[in-house]
Structure 1
């Protein structure tokens, strides 16, 4: 993808790996731009069923290193600072609204902007000994890529305040107990856990997963009534694809179900 990221597609899984050894795979400009392009590629590739975002080396997703990278004294005008924040926000929304499951893998943990990236993923698998924190307040900042909004929704109000206002650090085991990550296992079992999850995801209907993910986003984006209305509309549209009748036919015939792959009309090179 670029010198900061590798992109590998195998058996319907697109794996995006932060490969730069500088700053523990931090959110540099190269990583931000590379992630954006890689996610667009996975979105438009009909063969991709699941996306995995991981980090090489010690497996830590570090924070927003883009700021000192652009200017060593990190002195920006308000509009310049806002521009970088908005780029990060757009990237997180790209993950959050991608119509395919996204798994974040954090063997060593995450902090700052790297952790905010994981907030946007559908699943996060980590080692129980990994560490996680939002240390922005300790350096005179606050979360700027969605942490103040997603973290309380993920793990609850009181503990989120402890992480956000104190910059506290927790282990992978604690993160799993609080709902910040999906599952924390011994380090040598992380890859197997990810593989098991991928297998479960690939066994389901891609169309049903896409509509379900978009409907679940409404929990955060709107009120209950509007969310329920969206669910009804999404289920109605999904039913038009005849996925369920096809599944039942396969079941009665004793055959493995065959689901419809996601296809983007504007995903081809002619639309780039």
Structure 2
């Protein structure tokens, strides 16, 4: 089905692997188009409760964009490229189902931006992160200037983007860029284990959490008002009644996402 991705559905988690190992899994227009299709599948397929985005091999998650595509672009084409990237990465960020980045190596440029668009990140011990666009006379164009600032703060974001330095997984953990750092062999098992824990919770409530946390960082929304509305909406769901009943009856809840 895909030229540059491989997908596998396992225990209701769609594992999306960017599969261009000879190019360090670099993003090109084909990868972006196919990634958009894979995310559409996450949204629409009821058998999918969550997703993991990772890269093939043990060297690179996504080591940036395919620079050869940039040399021919006009200003207008550059704007269109950025807008397309924003649309796809916003779809990941706003997915009502959790999407984790399992960062298995270099996450640079567009790769770092892709990881940051996910709801959170788990890194292998050899992972490295960076936004080296200024080395090319560019800036991040897929939301990196905004998401990096949100995740690590203004000062660290400014330094990382202006120096084009890479940071190791341990530093990414201390900066708050990633949630966990594990050995390479434990990367996907760790991501899967977290998602299985999330799968046991009420799906509509999980979607509400994602919506509210995103609203906290959206200048066009009142996050507190969003929380009030999502909290109130919970009372119309069967899942709330199931969860409350299960708690009172001291049993495991069986949520249906209704």
- Determine if the TM-score, normalized by the shorter chain, exceeds 0.5: yes
Please report the TM-score for the alignment, with normalisation by the length of structure 2: 0.94
Q: 215, 219, 223: which one pairs with 1:218? A: 215
Which piece of structure 1 moves more, 141-150 or 250-259? 250-259
Aligned residues: 257
The structure 1 residue matched to 2:168, chosen from 166, 171, 175, is: 171
How far apart are the structure 2 equivalents of 1:195 and 1:149? 28
User: Secondary structure at 2:217's aligned position in 1?
Assistant: helix
For residues 216-247 of structure 1, the C-alpha deviation after alignment (integer angstroms, 9 at most, x for no partner) is 111111378x2101110111112211322211
For structure 2, the residue ranges without an aligned partner over 5 or more in a row are none
* 2:188 is aligned with 1:191: yes
1:14-53 equivalences under 5 Å are 14-53=14-53
Residue 42 (structure 1) shift: 1.2
Q: Please, which of 221, 228, 231 is the counterpart of residue 232 of structure 1?
A: 228
Q: TM-score, normalised by structure 1?
A: 0.90
Structure 1 residue ranges, 4+ long, deviating more than 4 angstroms after superposition: none
1:93 aligns with: 90
1:256 maps to what in 2?
A: 252
1:105 pairs with 98, 102, 106, which one? Answer: 102
Give the Cα separation in 2 of the matches to 1:162 and 1:193: 30
* 1:199 CA displacement: 1.9
Cα separation, 2, equivalents of 1:188 and 1:12: 21
Please state how far the C-alpha of 1:200 moved relative to its aligned partner.
Answer: 1.6
Q: Contact between 2:200 and 2:255, CA under 8 Å: does it hold in 1?
A: no
Change (3 A) 1:22 1:29: farther
Partner of 1:156: 153
**Partner SS for 1:259:** coil
CA RMSD of aligned residues (A): 1.6
Q: Is the 8 A contact 1:59 1:107 kept in 2?
A: yes
Tell me the CA shift for residue 254 of structure 1: 4.2
Are the equivalent residues in 1 in contact too, given 2:5–2:18 (CA < 8 A)? yes
Distance 1:109 1:180 in 2: 14
Q: Equivalents in 2 of 1:191, 1:53: separation in Å?
A: 10
Contact 2:234–2:240 at 8 Å: present in 1 too? no
1:243 is matched with 239
Q: CA deviation at 1:213?
A: 0.3
Of residues 77, 92, 100 in structure 2, which corresponds to 1:80? 77
The 3 A distance-change label for structure 1 pair 30 and 223 is closer
Give the whole-Å Cα distance in 1 for the aligned partners of 2:108 and 2:173.
Answer: 16
Q: What is the rounded CA distance, in whole Å, between the counterparts of 1:134 and 1:41 in structure 2?
A: 29
Contact 2:82-2:142 within 8 A present in 1 as well: yes
| 3-state DSSP of counterpart to 1:105 | strand
SS in 2 for 1:160: helix
Match of 1:265 in 2: none
Counterpart residue number, 1:11: 11
Which blocks of at least 5 consecutive residues in structure 1 are unaligned? 263-272
Preserved contact between residue 100 and residue 118 of structure 2 (Cα < 8 Å): yes
Moved more, 54-63 or 88-97: 54-63
